[in-house]
Amino acid sequence: MRRLVSSAVLAVLLSFCAILGQAQYSGYPGGYHPRIRSEEQTSAEQRRLVSAYCRADFDGARLNAGGEARFKDLLSFRLSPELSSFAVVSRFDLPGDAPKPNVTITYHMLGRWESSMGYQRVSDPEETVFHIVQRDGELRIDSVEPSEPRVSVRAALEYLRGQLSDAKEETRRAMLDAAIKELTALQRTGNEPNAATSQR
């Protein structure tokens, strides 16, 4: 009799554990609880976060009013609204590494705009480091260094043309006009990239 009771209790406990396990993991994309990720899932989520940030930045989201909305679900902090410089890039390379707190992206540079100096060509690749943290079970980008926007030729031209239409001071107008001419020439020669991302 005792054996029968013990077997029945054990069966009930096993059934309860199975139901609890199923409830814990059901309803989440990819079949995993947000607090419990495999190394492969963490790496994929990190790549998704960083890729989405770089894509939005490349499209010029940070140069436009309201563009910060594209970063809302990617960051654990608010981007600074101040804009004194931005880099013009042809593309960025995403690493295929195992998950780690810092993800390094290589940008292929074309030039840099600074409000006090105008546009200057830059040819050497530059790196940006994204620090990833987990908050309330979700991965988020916690910091970006350096933090200046890195945009496409098209996005840079759109921004600079808007600035030129509002500029009154002759020196500033001359800097903006020179930058627009150089970037327009780059666009016309077909050197503007068609793809924003590539994998190493």
**Closest to 57 (Cα-Cα) out of 138, 123, 156, 181:** 156
Q: Are residues 55 and 20 in the same domain?
A: no
How large is the average pLDDT for residues 60-72? 92
Do 164 and 181 lie in a common domain?
Answer: yes
Q: Computed over its alpha carbons, how large is the radius of gyration of the chain?
A: 24
Claim to verify: residue 18 and residue 46 sit in the same structural domain? no
Q: Which of the two residues, 151 and 4, has the higher pLDDT score?
A: 151
Q: 7 pLDDT band (50/70/90 cuts)?
A: low
pLDDT, residue 15, reads 52
Please state, rounded to an integer, the average pLDDT across all residues of the chain.
Answer: 81
pLDDT of 9 strictly over 70: no
| Contact residues for 171 (Cβ-Cβ < 8 A; gap 6+) | none
Do 118 and 187 lie in a common domain? yes
10 or 154: which leads in pLDDT: 154
The 3 state secondary structure assigned to 13-67 is HHHHHHHHHHHHHCCCHHHCCCCCCCHHHHHHHHHHHHHHHHHHHHCCHHHCCCH
Domain count, the chain: 2
Q: What residue has token string 């790196």? A: 127
- The bridge status of strand 150-151 relative to strand 85-94 is parallel
Q: Residue 19: what pLDDT?
A: 41
Residues 100 and 174 in one domain: yes
| Cβ neighbour number for residue 149 with a 10 Å cutoff | 23
Whether residue 93 has pLDDT greater than 50:
yes
Domain that holds residue 46: 40-199
Q: What is the model's pTM?
A: 0.77
For residues 18 and 50, state if they share a domain: no
- Tell me the three state secondary structure of residue 93: strand
The Cα 109–Cα 100 span in angstroms is: 25
DSSP class per residue in 125-136: -EEEEEEEEEET
Query: Which helix or strand (DSSP H or E) is residue 106 part of?
Result: strand 102-114
